Amino acid sequence: MTQIVLGIESSCDETAAAIVDSDRNILSNIVLSQIEQHAPYGGVVPEIAARAHIEHLDRLIAEAMTEADVGFDDLDAVAATAGPGLIGGVMIGLVTAKAICTARNKPLIALNHLEAHALTARLTNDVPFPYLLLLVSGGHCQLISVSGLDQYTRLGTTLDDAVGEAFDKAAKMMGLGYPGGPLVEIAARDGDPARFDLPRPMKGRDNCDFSFSGLKTAVRRALDSLGDKVTDQDHADLCASFQYAVGDVLSDRTRRAMKLFEARHPGARRLVIAGGVAANKAIGERLSTVTADTGFDLIVPPPGLCTDNAAMVAWAGVERLQQGLTSEMSISARARWPLDSLAAAKPFTGAKA
């Protein structure tokens, strides 16, 4: 019997609602971006994000249900991000889901936002367990062995900045605007990736961890070396050099993780890339070279399902509902919620671990 789940996403600066069924049909997927509100500040302002969620979430849920042509009685469950993320926004989405479940007597599924990203490829490509996940976004950079629901083993994580955060900060230093990732990618197309000799932090290390703060500092030093007259070509070359360095680091760390993953799961050669940075075509091309060299299959969801959205939340809700993994109404929102709860915390990582 086909099951239908409403998904709600409000962990950062996208307010989103979606309807997905157990046959992998995305019946609706409404996403309201807050880029214009945050752009003047060069980053996400938590108070502005929370206010936007309050103002728009109810309307977006109604739009998603209308587009999907379903009513509350048709729902089998409501899934909402319960963390990690900006706590104000997470609370708004979770409380809204609780209200619907209470009023309509529906099961609640409180989801880890990272799990929603991790399972997206199972919605779009029906990828079987196990697989290696490279999760790259504005807040996270991790390599995870995914063996099933609640079966996540962290192989590597950032020790400081997430890769998307590094892109945003590099763009901000160059005055390119916000969000920085897509703008760096666009500028890099006209640049020379060999012009600036930037570091490759952690490359060659025995572990699978990442570090991007040194690379970010190197970008600042490169800008300072150019003096007051920085041209568009200077920016293009620096963006290209930065992006290429990031590609080198991601490729090296992923190759190392592939060896560890294959030792755990012989023959399961599948690499899934999820998170907003997965939409970067240049990074994708670098990682496709890695998978071609190693014999891994590369699976990347469509760009619109790599960035934050509610379809991934609804689908993760479908998977949990099918296993009977629903949530108590007493569950609380969490600012920090690592996928691998047994992994030791890394210094300076905060929510990124």
Write the DSSP string, 249-265. Answer: HHHHHHHHHHHHHHHHS
Radius of gyration from C-alpha coordinates of the chain: 20
- Look at residue 352 and tell me whether its pLDDT is greater than 60: no
Its pTM surpasses 0.85: yes
Residue 46 lies in a domain: yes
Mean pLDDT of the 308-320 span: 98
pLDDT of residue 38: 81
Residue 80 lies in a domain: yes
How many structural domains comprise the chain?
A: 2
Say yes or no: 155 and 229 in one domain: yes
Closest CA to 272 of 298, 239, 241: 298
pLDDT of residue 157: 96
Mean pLDDT of the 42-61 span: 90
Buried b (16+ CB within 10 A) or exposed e, 142-163: bbbbbeebeebbbbbbbbbbbb
Say yes or no: 80 and 214 in one domain: no
pLDDT of residue 231: 96
- Using the structure block, give the residue that is written with the tokens 């999820």: 274
Bigger pLDDT: 156 vs 46: 156
Say yes or no: 335 and 277 in one domain: no
Say yes or no: 201 and 313 in one domain: no
Say yes or no: 208 and 248 in one domain: yes
Residue 238 lies in a domain: yes
Say yes or no: 187 and 321 in one domain: no
350 confidence band (pLDDT: 50, 70, 90): very low
Residue 351 lies in a domain: no
| 313 in Cβ contact with 7 (< 8 Å) | yes
- Look at residue 353 and tell me whether its pLDDT is greater than 60: no
DSSP letter, residue 205: -
Residue 349 lies in a domain: no
Residue 52 lies in a domain: yes
Say yes or no: 136 and 256 in one domain: yes
Say yes or no: 142 and 250 in one domain: yes
Summarised one tens digit per residue, pLDDT across range 160-196 is: 989 999 999 999 999 998 888 999 999 999 999 999 9
DSSP letter, residue 129: S
Domain that includes residue 232, residue range: 128-300
Say yes or no: 175 and 266 in one domain: yes
Say yes or no: 155 and 269 in one domain: yes
| 30 in Cβ contact with 67 (< 8 Å) | yes
Residue 350 lies in a domain: no
Tokens of 350: 């905060």
Say yes or no: 142 and 241 in one domain: yes
User: Rounded distance, CA 338 to CA 130, Å?
Assistant: 19
- Look at residue 21 and tell me whether its pLDDT is greater than 50: yes
- Look at residue 341 and tell me whether its pLDDT is greater than 90: no
Say yes or no: 207 and 269 in one domain: yes
Mean pLDDT taken over the chain:
94
Residue 74 lies in a domain: yes
265: domain CATH number is: 3.30.420.40
Give the helix/strand (H/E) hosting 233: helix 232-264
